[in-house]
Amino acid sequence: MPGGEASPAEDPSRVEEEFSLHASDGASEQALQAYAVTKPEIRDRAFDWDLRLQDMLDVYDGAAADRALRAAADDLLDLCRDQQRWLAANTGYDPSYQEPMRLWRSVVDGLCAGAMNIVRGVDRRDETLVRKGRREIKAARALMTSDEYFGAWGPLLIH
């Protein structure tokens, strides 16, 4: 294009508009903004993450020896970091999803911090750091099972 401008199809900041007809609109067209990250994508990612997380938390809960605890925390840390990257890269969603995404981010950050402290604590033989990590993971799990968390996710879980 002249002047080095990107064509509309190539412009990443361009937002497409979708038009839909609703019976309640009296056959008028209403512009709806299309978002880069859709509700089904968020739901699918949350479902997949939760399944993987539950398996890892089962291993974490059963880890007794330092080596097993460190391995479980290290795996949990990898999963959380992957989820943090996904959350950071996928911000183009409907603003009405802000609260569930904020809470999800809080859970992920808490699990990451706890797992990191356990890994460092086991490596340094610092039981205080391990206990701190366990408390952080416990707090993140409590948030994840709270009424606030489930209430915020309600609109995203309904089709």
pLDDT (tens digit, 9 = 90+) per residue, 108-159? 999 999 999 999 999 999 999 999 999 999 999 999 999 999 899 887 777 5
Which tokens sit at 34?
């299309």
Among 32, 38, 42, 37, smallest CA distance to 153 is for 42
Model pLDDT, residue 155: 76
> Where in the chain are the domains?
2-33, 39-157
Model pLDDT, residue 27: 36
pLDDT higher than threshold 60 for residue 6: no
Model pLDDT, residue 68: 96
Model pLDDT, residue 34: 80
Report how far apart the first and last C-alpha atoms of the chain are (Å, whole number). Answer: 42
Q: What's phi and psi for 90, nearest 5 deg?
A: -115, 75
In this prediction, residues 36-43 reach a mean pLDDT of 91
Residue with the two structure tokens 């606030």: 148
Model pLDDT, residue 32: 45
For residue 21, give the H/E element and its range: strand 17-21
Reported as a single tens digit per residue, the pLDDT across 58-107 is: 999 999 899 999 999 999 999 999 999 999 999 999 998 999 999 999 99
Instruction: Please give the torsion angle defined by the CA atoms of residues 127, 131, 133 and 135, in that order, rounded to the nearest 10 degrees.
Output: 180
In this prediction, residues 8-36 reach a mean pLDDT of 46
Residue with the two structure tokens 């309904």: 158
